[in-house]
Structure 1
């Protein structure tokens, strides 16, 4: 039975869900704008699974988004539950943090990165095989979309928009409803080198790593050449990664954890059985 905990003896309060279970520990890290509930449908047999709300998300406290401080938050969860050297599984932003965690902790037995390699809004060279003029036009359009989204997160949500967010990601202030994370956190993450391209850092990871990349466009971007070129760039830059890194493609979109939880559970369980002990 999952058990929710608030860790209060840290720089900020940290909300954690302990899924219990026997076996080696696995720490689960959600993506940007998500919450620990993203992992509720993932069943990892034979593992002790623990998920957390990242700072500025869900029921965890607010604090500046600095990557080392976020890793300190993860350290606090590991220490609180006595997880020792857990495997780390992360989706999107959480996958990027898994890579950074493995670089900080050479003793980490294994990590899994679920499409957490590179922001869709990226350098032109990361969209190979696309007409430059069309590419630049699409990138400008994508930037405008993300600019508008970030601006909207700074204001109260209209009633009709609240259903787009998990209840855990909503907060009430002065009679208005706001979504977390706020615009300051989004801005800090959006242009960080770690968020824009994690692949160079992935190459520095010494433990076993499983990378799962999607074959379908994210919702709202279907049919565009930009996302097809983006995937080509990812494949290009993963083609010669070190042998400790395994790459799998999954018939899903960026939202693969919600779309294919059973398939991901099978991949992760099989991978960890061979690499995390």
Structure 2
């Protein structure tokens, strides 16, 4: 599948054209990911769409640049313009889902956008429903400390031993979801950058990772959901990842609060699907079901 670098914007952006003869669709990965993680979903979207996946700035083979929502949306506009993608649909996962919602608000002419569990990062007590505020604050502090610890580890260059362990972890994760281990390894390696001492580090780097985290924590998408005139579908997880089980009460309260806030949004352009039995890893868990949901939604939006 052909790849190219789009340099018409302020940051060079890597794209992979998965082909397909239907209407164009931009496919966006999550934070810390890259376009190689979306190959299975892209293949299942190809019968209905020409699918173009993007490495967001700071990820994969794209260039670095500060993380500002409008600037990243400009990157996507540059990709669409350079490839001649007229009025593309936009589908995003996690961080990419947030961008899909922001794209929908910016582009009322868009034929449809889909956010796959693209929720702002959990970090504030007001994002929770049904929890004692003091208890919520304590658990949020513990969660932030866990995130800080993971970020510190990921910011350090990887020794050969650490890299081998990380690749073994990717193979194990692939087996968990019934995927091809070599695909998961290739996606992981796409985010590796060489260091001067022969070691490797993961992209995005520490500075950009912190910018993305702050941007996600501070983002309120309700105005975008309220104001969009483009058909927008939110597909939301209903289950925890295994890694989230220690904070199960916190994430359950976050899902309740999110559902309550969305129920108060009166916008006929917005649809919400709580996907039973799906976690934040829904793209790995159920790619064919998601492809059916996406193509069905976009087909209905085109008829309407």
What TM bracket, shorter-length normalisation? over 0.9
1:28 equivalent in structure 2: 27
* Secondary structure, counterpart of 1:192 in structure 2: helix
Q: TM-score, normalised by structure 1?
A: 0.94
* SS at 1:222 equivalent: helix
Deviation at 1:57, TM superposition (A): 0.2
Q: Give the distance between the partners of 1:107 and 1:200, measured in 2 at CA.
A: 18
Cα distance in 2 between the residues matched to 1:152 and 1:205: 39
Write the deviation string for residues 7-31 of structure 1: whole angstroms up to 9, x where unpaired.
2344222111101101111101111
Any unmatched runs of 5+ in structure 2? Answer: 171-187
Distance 1:239 1:205 in 2: 16
Q: Which residue of 1 aligns with 2:253?
A: 229
Whether 2:187 is the aligned partner of 1:169: answer no
C-alpha distance after superposition, 1:29-63 (max 9, x if no partner): 11101100122011112211100000000111111
Partner-residue secondary structure (3-state), 2:104:
helix
For residue 266 of structure 1, report the CA deviation from its aligned partner: 0.7
Q: By how many angstroms is 1:146 displaced?
A: 1.3
The secondary structure found in structure 1 opposite 2:293 is helix
Give me the whole-angstrom Cα distance separating, in 2, the residues matched to 1:211 and 1:274: 15
TM-score by length of 2: 0.86
Please state how far the C-alpha of 1:193 moved relative to its aligned partner. Answer: 6.2
| Between structures 1 and 2, the one with greater helix share | 2
1:135 and 2:157 are equivalent in the alignment:
no
Q: Which segment drifts farther, 139-148 or 193-202?
A: 193-202
Question: Does structure 1 conserve the Cα–Cα contact (< 8 Å) formed by 2:124 and 2:140?
Answer: no
Alignment of 1:207 onto 2:206: no
Using the alignment, how far apart are the partners of 1:70 and 1:219 within structure 2?
Answer: 31
List runs of 5+ in structure 1 lacking aligned partners: none
Distance 1:190 1:219 in 2: 21
